[in-house]
Amino acid sequence: MTPSANYQTTLNTLTDFGSLNLTGTINLGGASFTLSTGTTIFAPGTTFKIIDNDGVDAVTGTFAGLPEGAQLVSRSFVATPQVFSISYVGGTGNDVVATAQGAATLTTTTLTSSVNPSTVGQSVTFTATVTPNSGSATPTGSVTFKDGSTTLATVPLNSSGVATFTTAALAMGTHPINAIYQANVPFVASFANVSQVVNAASGTAVPMLDARGLALLALALAAAGLFFARGSYSPT
């Protein structure tokens, strides 16, 4: 596999799950890995051989960001996501095995603005708060703040599950500010958004015309006067 590859597998039941049967040298090469689950909640300790190496060679390399023993949260749209650990020396010693660790913890992210609407040049603080939907453990990880598709900052959660970002650089207009929680296991990612309105600062001066601008304005006014003089305009 190559770093640009993405290996995906789904665990539906104990006997219905995706698995690759390979022989020979297996190099994962830092490929990404996506694990999905269905409606079945697997008991902790349940194992799945997701890559079955029929040969005797060891598996080399790892999936991106998942060293030996690392944990990940499954993706599920029909049930609670689950936590799995991954091993590259499982099975007969050279298989890639995922082991269930238990249910993941869903979260809720809220996002507030310190002042909305604001004015151009005014400092605005966005506060993202991440809370667990069950249990009392404080979520860990980070929050990425975005203005539409533009990343503004990525801020770690503090010990209370809160991340803040302050800026005075928002241009006049309406800004879709998004806070995306990037979860650490066993928590599940969530997001929130707010529409930030930025108005012109009060007393904003109208820019003065330079010599060229004045000349163009004079020509426009002269042309308008000639237009009216010819009777092409009839007020009602």
pLDDT of residue 204: 52
Low-confidence ranges of the chain (pLDDT < 70): 1-3, 203-209, 213-214, 220-221, 223-236
Q: What single letter denotes the amino acid at residue 7?
A: Y
pLDDT of residue 22: 85
DSSP 8-class letter at 31: -
Cβ 166 vs Cβ 159: under 8 Å: no
Question: Where exactly does CATH 2.60.40.10 map onto the chain?
Answer: 107-199
Tens digit of pLDDT for each residue in 5-54?
A: 889 999 999 999 999 988 778 889 899 999 999 999 999 999 999 999 88
CATH for 107-199 (3.40.190.10, 1.10.4080.10, 2.60.40.10, 3.40.1350.10): 2.60.40.10
Tens digit of pLDDT for each residue in 115-127?
A: 999 999 999 999 9
Instruction: Give the chain's count of helices (H) and strands (E).
Output: 1, 17
pLDDT of residue 230: 47
Structure-token match 């533009």, residue found: 150
Name the pTM for this structure: 0.75
Mean pLDDT value across the chain = 89
